[in-house]
């Protein structure tokens, strides 16, 4: 069992704030401050260039890839860190396309994170091989899997509503049709157990700055199934994915296994923050996390619906069909979210009318949910959002 | 004029060490420790998600791009930071290829950094449009510029020897042949004045962890000439290069100007380290830097040749033809470099026999050169390298 009171104590949370936006940027683990200072002062400052070996900088993308692998049900040595999620999407899609060269349909849905769709658009345009990027409604994905399918590329958890796709069923259907399945775990890695092996997933990608709490701009990860990795010819064939990076050969030869999905120099300071955050994750039982997450979201939905009837649930009501976030639709959602933030209940807003709240059991407990709903009831019942100061639209992130 | 004694005092340098490897990984500026701590504790820790706007995280890639732009002779608003150098090479080459779609020759040289060549290989293979990657000897580049040229892709300063290409003449010749010129500034940005505008360069890329002292894994940069940027359709079309990233549209529309070369979430901690390092660079006169650099390399060559006749100069003798590093060839170079490092004179080794020494006037002065050569003379004259402990080849970085 995981002691979530103990994990909560491991985070720095601003005084009085209930932070329900860990699904966008996770909070700072207390131990990370000292860890980064050590990396800066003792490693960069004192070891200088020798830090690449002596401080383990060079090996961290695969070492920590394995620690993330446990959370997402991957085989050991099949996850590597680096770059950004958009770059990892590009790598996965480029490799997947090559596995089924005669097929032309790339299937995704309108609930996918836009950058995934943009990267697919850029890749297929620059390839110029007649691929069709087919964007359908999330509920229509299964119906569009047919014998034309090259690659099905989906995000497991919808960034707006937390709705979950059925990874096992859709992957199975894509395979039956002869296609390849890529899953983006941005909203599920660290939010719930993921079972890449059990679902027979081909490629997966994700980020570490949300539920994994590795900090702003922390590296992304990529998973490639063992049956594919040796057949992947990386499109982004950088030196650190080379078989012998420090031989400085003039010809590219892909490295062994997942190492070939590395590209350039890893972001050492960000990797240190990730490494620190993973010391918390190493202690977490993912089934216990899921149970705690469901308890929090169920409580939140019940309490908000009881006390804020003007809000409409935008997430699936069945907890098995949603991740670790809850969204409500409200016409004045932007202003209402600003009013909440001003009262230290921090969620975020996604156009046109979605108020998003993330529930990370590592640092959110039942008492937080109770307090958050008290504030929400006050804001909604007393129309506190109806104030010009909350209606000014700042640059939204 | 720049006060290099003052800049030297701004760096943390390990006690007794003469660090001649700033051309691989620059040392830690003293102010950077506090700056990163502030970013971690006060920004990430306290501002959380609002840091993207309130702490300026989102704008930093372009804000600091301009500060680098001054060092490399770029127009304002035409340099942006992000990703790794390999990714930026890919972006530049993909965009350049699209500008001359009917041409097929990509010309580079065997002195280019291997990852640049690998990325070109990966891109052209995945495009499958019959591009020829022509790798010639550095001295033969000019002779291979002809009417077939699509893109000439070179690194201005050779990573092994510091030899400089004539950026102005080669760019002019490439243009006269109807081609596009991409320059990698990894070994010249911060090493000497670069004049992108004066040389009429089309695309440039570079890293910030060498002479610019932004730390291990700090972001790369890309420059696109004003005449091209509006015609570039990014191959790596990530959301932060979108015209309106936070509108979450399903179709990609490239952002204004250089913003479109952004891809994913910037590495905020690394960017903070860069931002800190640039406060030193903001004070530096690049002509003064070059004069100081030449004085140091001239002194080093003269002293080493006088006292270590068994070493053979591998860098150009004419200072105008070399950057801010000096290399010597020596049969037992690996062991000799280990012997030097054990005596706190830190350079590095590149196969098969190159001993590399970087001279960054920001933190290396004439007294350091004198001391370094004293140690070298001892190591060489007394064959101190001829010791089994120095001959064990560790993983070389």
Q: Let me know whether A272 and A308 are in one domain.
A: no
Q: Let me know whether B187 and B242 are in one domain.
A: yes
- Chain B residues whose CB is inside 8 A of the A108 CB are none
A217 occurs within a structural domain:
yes
Q: Let me know whether A316 and A264 are in one domain.
A: no
Contact B90 A236 (CB under 8 A): yes
- Chain A residues whose CB is inside 8 A of the B99 CB are none
Instruction: Select the residue of A44, A87, A98 nearest B216 (Cβ to Cβ).
Output: A44
Burial of A392 (0-12, 13-18, 19+ CB in 10 A): exposed
**A338: nearest CA partner in chain B:** B50
Predicted confidence band of residue B394 (pLDDT cuts 50, 70, 90): low
Q: Strands A312-313, A325-329: parallel, antiparallel or unpaired by DSSP?
A: antiparallel
Count CA atoms within 13 Å of residue A241 on its CB side.
30
Q: Let me know whether B350 and B276 are in one domain.
A: no
Contact B265 A32 (CB under 8 A): no
Full domain range(s) for residue A376: 4-29+285-391
- Chain A residues whose CB is inside 8 A of the B251 CB are 121
The Cα B258–Cα A148 span in angstroms is 37
The Cα A207–Cα A23 span in angstroms is 11
Catalytic residue among B35, B223, B356, B368: B356
A36 occurs within a structural domain:
no
Contact A118 B32 (CB under 8 A): no
Report the DSSP beta bridge partners of residue B153.
B182
Residue B395: pLDDT above 60?
no
- Chain B residues whose CB is inside 8 A of the A209 CB are 265
CB–CB of A262/A61 below 8 Å?
yes
- Chain A residues whose CB is inside 8 A of the B244 CB are none
Contact B264 A220 (CB under 8 A): yes
Q: How far is A117 from chain B (nearest CA, A)?
A: 7
What confidence tens digit (pLDDT) does each residue in B87-141 have? Answer: 999 999 999 999 999 999 999 999 999 999 999 999 999 899 999 999 999 999 9
Give the residue numbers of A annotated as catalytic, written as ranges. 113, 184, 209-210, 356
Active site residue B3: no
| CATH for A23 | 3.90.1150.10
Q: Stretch A63-76: mean pLDDT, rounded? A: 98
Task: Give the pLDDT score at A394.
Answer: 61
Q: Let me know whether A130 and A218 are in one domain.
A: yes
| CATH for B64 | 3.40.640.10
Q: Let me know whether A18 and A104 are in one domain.
A: no
Please report, to the nearest 10 degrees, the dihedral formed by the alpha carbons of residues B269, B271, B275, B281 taken in order.
130
Count of domains forming chain B: 2
Q: In the predicted model, what is the mean pLDDT of chain B?
A: 96
Residue A396: pLDDT above 50?
no
Contact B12 A45 (CB under 8 A): yes
- Chain A residues whose CB is inside 8 A of the B261 CB are none
A35 occurs within a structural domain:
no
Residue B329: pLDDT above 80?
yes
Helix (H, G, I), strand (E, B) or coil at A345: strand
Nearest CA-CA partner of A183 in A287, A285, A73: A73
Q: Let me know whether B277 and B289 are in one domain.
A: no
Task: Give the pLDDT score at B397.
Answer: 45
Instruction: Select the residue of B21, B235, B268 nearest A217 (Cβ to Cβ).
Output: B268
Asked which of B281, B308, B339 is the last residue of a domain, the reply is B281
**B15: nearest CA partner in chain A:** A46
Active site residue B11: no
Instruction: Select the residue of B36, B50, B397 nearest A36 (Cβ to Cβ).
Output: B36
Q: Stretch A95-109: mean pLDDT, rounded? A: 97
The Cα A219–Cα A270 span in angstroms is 7
Contact A87 B90 (CB under 8 A): no
Contact B247 A351 (CB under 8 A): yes
pTM over 0.95: yes
Contact A248 B27 (CB under 8 A): no
What confidence tens digit (pLDDT) does each residue in B149-177 have? Answer: 999 999 999 999 999 999 999 999 999 99
Q: Let me know whether B237 and B385 are in one domain.
A: no
Structure tokens of B294? 């030449």
Where in A277-334 does DSSP place strands (E)? 312-313, 325-329
Q: Let me know whether A330 and A203 are in one domain.
A: no
Contact A48 B32 (CB under 8 A): no
Instruction: Select the residue of B46, B48, B84 nearest A265 (Cβ to Cβ).
Output: B84
- Chain B residues whose CB is inside 8 A of the A215 CB are 40, 44, 268-269
Contact A86 B264 (CB under 8 A): yes
Q: How far is B336 from chain A (nearest CA, A)?
A: 17
Contact A346 B53 (CB under 8 A): no
Q: Stretch A331-338: mean pLDDT, rounded? A: 97
Q: How far is A329 from chain B (nearest CA, A)?
A: 17
Predicted confidence band of residue A397 (pLDDT cuts 50, 70, 90): very low
Q: Stretch B364-388: mean pLDDT, rounded? A: 97
B96 occurs within a structural domain:
yes
Tallying the residues shown for chain A, one arrives at 397
The Cα B346–Cα A50 span in angstroms is 10
Asked which of B247, B281, B315 is the last residue of a domain, the reply is B281
Helix (H, G, I), strand (E, B) or coil at A106: strand
Task: Give the pLDDT score at A392.
Answer: 80
**B254: nearest CA partner in chain A:** A118
- Chain B residues whose CB is inside 8 A of the A216 CB are 44, 51-52, 57, 265, 268-269
A253 occurs within a structural domain:
yes
Q: How far is A49 from chain B (nearest CA, A)?
A: 6
Instruction: Select the residue of A87, A263, A269 nearest B270 (Cβ to Cβ).
Output: A269
The Cα B327–Cα B316 span in angstroms is 9
Task: Give the pLDDT score at B392.
Answer: 80
A265 occurs within a structural domain:
yes
CB–CB of B198/B350 below 8 Å?
no
Name every residue whose Cβ is closer than 8 Å to that of residue A288 and which is 6 or more positions away in sequence: A1, A2
Residue from A12, A237, A245, A349 to probe the interface with B (highest B Cβ count within 10 Å): A237
Asked which of B266, B281, B296 is the last residue of a domain, the reply is B281
Active site residue B356: yes
Q: How far is B282 from chain A (nearest CA, A)?
A: 22
Q: Let me know whether B136 and B233 are in one domain.
A: yes
Q: Let me know whether B184 and B226 are in one domain.
A: yes
Residue B1: pLDDT above 90?
no
Residue A389: pLDDT above 50?
yes
Structure tokens of B396? 């070389």
Q: How far is B352 from chain A (nearest CA, A)?
A: 9
Q: Let me know whether A74 and A193 are in one domain.
A: yes
Contact B242 A114 (CB under 8 A): yes
Task: Give the pLDDT score at A391.
Answer: 87
Number of H helices, E strands in chain A: 14, 15
Query: Among all chains, which residue has been given the structure tokens 């932060």?
Result: B240
- Chain B residues whose CB is inside 8 A of the A15 CB are none
- Chain B residues whose CB is inside 8 A of the A124 CB are none
Name every residue whose Cβ is closer than 8 Å to that of residue A8 and which is 6 or more positions away in sequence: A362, A363, A364, A365
Contact B209 A267 (CB under 8 A): no
Percentage of residues in chain A having pLDDT higher than 90: 96
Helix (H, G, I), strand (E, B) or coil at B384: coil
Instruction: Select the residue of A28, A268, A269 nearest B45 (Cβ to Cβ).
Output: A28
Task: Give the pLDDT score at B396.
Answer: 47
Contact B247 A45 (CB under 8 A): no
């Amino acid at each position: 069992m995981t002691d979530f009171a103990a994990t909560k104590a491991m985070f720095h949370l601003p005084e009085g704030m209930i932070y329900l936006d860990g699904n966008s940027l996770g909070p700072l683990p207390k131990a990370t401050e000292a860890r980064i200072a050590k990396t800066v002062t003792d490693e960069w400052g004192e070891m200088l260039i020798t830090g690449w070996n002596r401080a383990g900088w060079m090996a961290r993308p695969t070492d920590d890839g394995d620690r993330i692998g446990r959370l997402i049900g991957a085989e050991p040595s099949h996850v590597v860190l680096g770059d950004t999620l958009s770059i990892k999407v590009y790598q996965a899609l480029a490799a997947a396309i090559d596995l089924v060269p005669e097929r032309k349909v790339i299937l995704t849905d309108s609930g996918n994170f836009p950058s995934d769709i943009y990267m697919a658009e850029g890749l297929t345009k620059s390839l110029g091989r007649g691929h069709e990027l087919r964007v359908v409604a999330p509920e229509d994905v299964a119906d569009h899997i047919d014998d034309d399918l090259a690659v099905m590329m989906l995000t497991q958890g919808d960034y707006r509503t937390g709705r979950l796709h059925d990874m096992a069923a859709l992957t199975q259907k894509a395979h039956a049709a002869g296609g390849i399945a890529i899953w983006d775990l941005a909203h599920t890695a660290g939010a719930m157990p993921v079972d890449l092996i059990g679902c027979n997933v081909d490629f997966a990608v994700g980020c570490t700055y949300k539920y994994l709490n590795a900090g702003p701009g922390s590296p992304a990860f990529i998973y490639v199934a063992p049956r594919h990795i040796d057949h992947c010819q990386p499109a982004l064939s950088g030196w650190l994915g080379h078989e012998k990076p420090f031989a400085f050969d003039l010809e590219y030869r892909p490295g062994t296994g997942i190492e070939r999905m590395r590209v350039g120099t890893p972001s050492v300071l960000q990797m240190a923050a990730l490494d620190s955050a993973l010391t918390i994750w190493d202690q977490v039982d993912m089934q216990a996390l899921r149970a705690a997450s469901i308890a929090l979201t169920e409580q939140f939905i019940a309490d908000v619906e009881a006390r804020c009837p003007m809000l409409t649930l935008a997430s699936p009501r069945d907890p098995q069909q949603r991740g670790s976030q809850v969204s409500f639709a409200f016409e004045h959602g932007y202003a209402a979210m600003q009013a909440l933030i001003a009262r230290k209940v921090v969620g975020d807003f996604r156009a046109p009318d979605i108020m998003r709240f993330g529930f990370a059991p590592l640092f959110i407990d039942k008492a937080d949910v109770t307090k958050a709903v008290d504030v929400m009831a006050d804001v909604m019942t007393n129309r506190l959002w109806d104030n010009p100061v909350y209606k000014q639209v700042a640059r939204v992130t």
